[in-house]
Amino acid sequence: MSKHIATPILALALTVVGAGLSQPVQAGATFDAVKARGSLNCGVNTGLAGFSAPDDKGNWAGLDVDVCRAVAAALFGDAKKVKFVPLTTQQRFTALQAGEVDILSRNTTLTSQRDTELGLNFAPPVYYDGQGFLVGKKVGVKSAKELNGATICVLPGTTTELNVTDWFRANNLQFKPVVIEKNDELAAAFFAGRCDAITSDASQLASIRSAQASNPDDYILLPEIISKEPLAPAVRHGDDQWFDLVKWSVYAWLEAEEKGITSANADGFKGKSNDPTIKRLMGDTPGLGKALGTGEDWAFNIVKQVGNYGESFERNVGMGSKLKLPRGLNAQWSKGGLMYAMPVR
Amino acid sequence: MVTKGAWWNDAGVRAVLYQIVVLGAILLLGWYLVSNTLANLAARNIATGFGFLGREAGFAIGESPLAYAPTDSYARAILVGLANTVIVALVGIAFATLIGLVIGIARLSSNWLVARLATVYVESARNVPVLLHLLFWYALITEALPGPRQALNPIANVFISNRGIKFPLPVWEAAHGWMAAALVVAVAATLVLARWARTRQAETGQPFPIIRVGLALILGLPLLAWLAGGAPTALDRPELKGFNFTGGHTVSPEFVALLLGLTLYTAAFIAEIVRSGILAVSRGQTEAALALGLSRGQVLRLVILPQALRVIIPPLTSQYLNLTKNSSLAVAIGYPDLVSVANTTINQTGQAIEGVALVMAVYLAVSLGIAAFMNWYDKKTALVSR
């Protein structure tokens, strides 16, 4: 049987079997199950450089991967206690709903429909993205408004198809979609000249360009960003304690950057700071860990083992990485961005 | 008189009882799965039902034989996907049968080179997974052909590029309607004539050149209608405008790649089925027919193939069904078939179970339709003992 038929059928089977075996939701069920198992099942992308992809040594790396590592560090004190489950766009929600994974950290856009109809809860966004267009420089297009009549390569199974259709309709322009299921095949068709442009989240386009173009400099991202794509980790409904842990792991990760605590200098802050926020974050003022159901040094472990949000960003997608994405909207709020940790107190 | 035992010792009653128990168990299992799934979906606040079919789809489809706009409903989008699937399946079945027949006969040819070439084709085509066939043809088309600005132009107004094959279409006028009507009349007349010719030949032995006359009718009548309608020659020509050609008709690279892959793959299997069918007719039949003075072509057409058909048709039906189902691989190379459109629908609505059930039901219906037609044809060609 083809993989393409198999994917939805697998999803179906997961739901049916999951429905048959797992008892529906109890408070603390996920939290207790993860703790008893001793490791975290984390749903990630099958391969998206910078967000979740295995590195040359076979270890998973990326911004989405670091979210799960942070949660593992908070809960177990060990960022390595994560089992990564690569999921396609079709499988991802069913896998989370059926209990195959505990967290879905897979460049997933937070939308109202997913939050409600799919029975998910979203932690704070870890990357504010938007859908853009990548075109060859020699096409000579400077704006997406000049793409009337163009053929555009689109990845299915995302909000992308809908966004691009809406945007062209709103601007009274025509286009022809070419919809190919696999990222690699889609990018190959684009680079072979089947399409005039390829559209996806801007971060993903940067990832494709760095990984698959024979000469990345021959391609440019058009200035138009046609949608809001806040990428956020998700958990399923029914375990608020688990949702709290994931949410505050992300906030602690953000807060650490704001306070200038890094993996390198974390030891210098623990037990040595007079700032009450840092004292709470480092576990010197106890209480927070107990409330979350973890050890008091949960946030310290995140920073020590994974680094703060800024470190993760630079390492995986920032100017120091192959993707060379600017901080833009993903800078701290104090620096004109949208990253704003709720007060840890 | 035999004394009747207790009713539960009666073999007939027991057989019925067992069947009721098994059927009941299957229904119970089905009910358990459905109700459990529904209960759990409800517990997780996941919406269920087919209500989404009436909502606006909102996504565009690359090619569509039906009128379709993003403002149409999901139901309409799925119908477009189904139409694309049916088109590629029907065209694929026609070509695969034709190529399979030729290759199957060629494998039995007494010409060494022809037979060997046919063998090489069959063995190489059927031993490569069909998905690779598709990816190969798609990569070949998109990588090897030039972009639209450097399109190949083999005949005036026909352009071949990595955006597809563009050719002109006549601008629709009343005369074309008359041509279509004339064609229908010609085909009907040919069928009636063929029937008459067969009866006459059976009764009197006199042959009638039905192929030549039929061809003349089918080509001649529409031509007359075209001349009578004022011989309109206006063409809707493809023109390079902006990014791509506008006007004319387009056969997309995705369709061509899918058609080539499915056809060449399935034709290899059909060739083997044809060969086995021909070999199933005993050598004596050929020799007897030759001894009667029939030509080689006549032997094949009148003696061998009619008898081979009854061996060929049942496995041929399976190949037709395989081709139809394999067309679902289209999503790998971007042809908007039923599965591709359903995938998008599932992802936008999140209603995987309904979407997959719908796709399964549609494939089942299409496959049963093909099977019913082939079974009818099988009965028709079965040997009739007189």
- A316-340 pLDDT, tens digit each: 999 888 888 889 899 999 999 999 9
Residues A120 and A242 in one domain: yes
Residues from chain B that touch A166, judged by Cβ atoms under 8 A, are 58
3-class DSSP assignment, residue B353: helix
The CA distance from A74 to A82, in Å, is 12
Q: What domain count does chain B have?
A: 2
The CA distance from B133 to B139, in Å, is 10
- In chain B, the percentage of residues whose pLDDT exceeds 90 is 46
On whether any CB of chain B is under 8 Å from the CB of A181, the answer is yes
Evaluate whether A185 touches B333 at the Cβ level (below 8 Å).
Answer: yes
Greater pLDDT, B351 or A339: A339
Residues A38 and A71 in one domain: yes
Q: Note whether A156 contacts B355, CB cutoff 8 Å.
A: no
How close A94 comes to chain B (CA, Å)?
8
Provide the pLDDT for residue A248.
96
**Residue ending a domain, choose from A227, A247, A271:** A227
- Asked if residue A18 is part of any domain, the answer here is no
**Residue ending a domain, choose from A205, A227, A249:** A227
Residue of A19, A158, A186 with shortest CB distance to B36: A19
Q: What angle do CA A202, A205, A209 make, to 5 degrees?
A: 140
- Asked whether the whole model's pTM tops 0.95, one would answer no
Provide the pLDDT for residue B96.
96
Range of the domain at B4: 1-35
Q: Note whether B59 contacts A94, CB cutoff 8 Å.
A: no
Q: Note whether B41 contacts A15, CB cutoff 8 Å.
A: yes
pLDDT for B384 beyond 80: no
Residue of B243, B326, B353 with shortest CB distance to A12: B353
**Using CB atoms and an 8 Å cut-off, which of residues 319-338 of chain B contact chain A?**
326, 328-329, 331-334, 336
- Asked if residue A91 is part of any domain, the answer here is yes
For chains A and B, count residue pairs whose Cβ atoms are closer than 8 Å.
162
How close A194 comes to chain B (CA, Å)?
6
On whether any CB of chain B is under 8 Å from the CB of A169, the answer is yes
Residues A124 and A238 in one domain: yes
What CATH number is associated with residue A198?
3.40.190.10
**Residue ending a domain, choose from A175, A193, A227:** A227
Evaluate whether A149 touches A174 at the Cβ level (below 8 Å).
Answer: yes
Respond yes or no on whether ipTM tops 0.90.
Answer: no
- Asked if residue B377 is part of any domain, the answer here is yes
Which residues are B165's β-sheet partners?
B160, B251
Range of the domain at A238: 29-128+231-335
Q: At a CB cut-off of 8 Å and minimum separation 6, what does B224 contact?
A: B182
The CA distance from B6 to A73, in Å, is 72
Q: Long-range contacts of range B157-162, CB-CB < 8 Å, 24 or more positions apart?
A: B157/B235, B157/B237, B157/B238, B157/B248, B159/B238, B159/B245, B162/A192, B162/A193, B162/A194, B162/B253
Residues B140 and B256 in one domain: yes
The alpha carbon of residue B252 and the mean position of all alpha carbons in its chain are separated, in whole angstroms, by: 18
Buried b or exposed e, range B371-380, using 16+ CB within 10 angstroms:
eeebeeebee
Q: Note whether A157 contacts B336, CB cutoff 8 Å.
A: no
How close B276 comes to chain A (CA, Å)?
27
- Asked if residue B190 is part of any domain, the answer here is no
Residue of B242, B253, B329 with shortest CB distance to A4: B329
Q: Note whether A189 contacts B331, CB cutoff 8 Å.
A: no
- Asked if residue B160 is part of any domain, the answer here is no
Provide the pLDDT for residue B207.
80
Average pLDDT over residues A210-218: 86
Evaluate whether A162 touches A236 at the Cβ level (below 8 Å).
Answer: no
Q: What domain count does chain A have?
A: 2
Residue of B47, B243, B340 with shortest CB distance to A151: B243
Per-residue pLDDT tens digits for B49-90: 888 888 888 888 888 888 898 889 999 999 999 999 999 999
pLDDT for A269 beyond 70: yes
- Asked if residue B326 is part of any domain, the answer here is yes
- Asked if residue A116 is part of any domain, the answer here is yes
Residues from chain A that touch B40, judged by Cβ atoms under 8 A, are 18-19, 24
Q: Note whether B45 contacts A18, CB cutoff 8 Å.
A: no
CA dihedral A132, A135, A140, A145 (to 10 degrees): -30
What CATH number is associated with residue B137?
1.10.3720.10
Interface mutation target, options B331, B351, B360, B364, chain A, most CBs of A under 10 Å: B331
